[in-house]
A = this chain, B = another copy of it.
């Protein structure tokens, strides 16, 4: 009915389609069919296909990432990171699909150069951020950075398992793996 309704519904269906079929495999016609609106309706709210895709990544995905990183930290790093990962299990289906789509662009499996650059800039902030979080708990200085790097690498796979492969990861398994990497820091 109202403007925002339709615009939002189009975006939701688009996330679904881009997710299942990729950018090239997604057609405006199929989106329109699932939204139950006419084809040009989509051009009424979005200038073209690419703009629709870009809005999902630039707004939805990065909003999600920022929401995610704004989580409170506890006084126990292992608890903190376990919760961080475990909570991903309970993201809404929409958020999971947006996240998945973002990772797809991040791995340059979809999207274009422009989006990749945005991803690269975000990536640069990851290591320093986690180094700040872990700093108080790291003891011996010789391999501190390697530990942070290893943890971030592990987190990447865990996130991929939940969001991309759509698996449920039990809290205990997450905790075990994070504990192995952070063994000695607590």
Q: Residues of A with Cβ closer than 8 Å to B?
A: 21-25, 104, 107-110, 143, 146-147, 149-150, 153-154, 156-158, 160-161, 164-165, 173, 176-177, 180-181, 183
Alpha-carbon separation in the docked complex, A23 to B97 (Å): 20
The answer for the CA separation of A12 and B154 in the assembled complex, in Å, is 33
Q: Is the CB of A147 within 8 A of B180?
A: yes
Tell me whether B25 and A146 are in contact (CB under 8 A).
Answer: no
Residue of B nearest to A149 (CB): B177
A157 to B, closest residue via Cβ: B153
State the oligomeric state as a number of copies.
2
Q: Cα distance A104–B160 when bound, in Å?
A: 12
Residue of B nearest to A177 (CB): B150
Q: Smallest Cβ distance from A176 to chain B, in angstroms?
A: 4
A148 CB, nearest partner CB in chain B, Å: 10
In the complex, what distance in Å separates the CA atom of A176 from the CA atom of B148?
11
A181 to B75, CA, bound (A): 23
A161: nearest chain-B partner, CB-CB: B153
Taking a contact as CB atoms closer than 8 A, the residue among B21, B24, B143, B157 that contacts A154 in the complex is B157
Task: Please state if A176 and B150 are interface contacts (CB–CB under 8 Å).
Answer: yes
* A-B pairs, 10 with minimum CB distance: A24-B24, A24-B25, A146-B176, A153-B157, A150-B177, A109-B109, A150-B180, A156-B157, A157-B157, A22-B22
Which one of B23, B160, B173, B181 lies within 8 Å of A180 (CB-CB)?
A: B181
Contact A143 B109 (CB under 8 A): no
Tell me the minimal C-beta distance from A131 to chain B in angstroms: 15
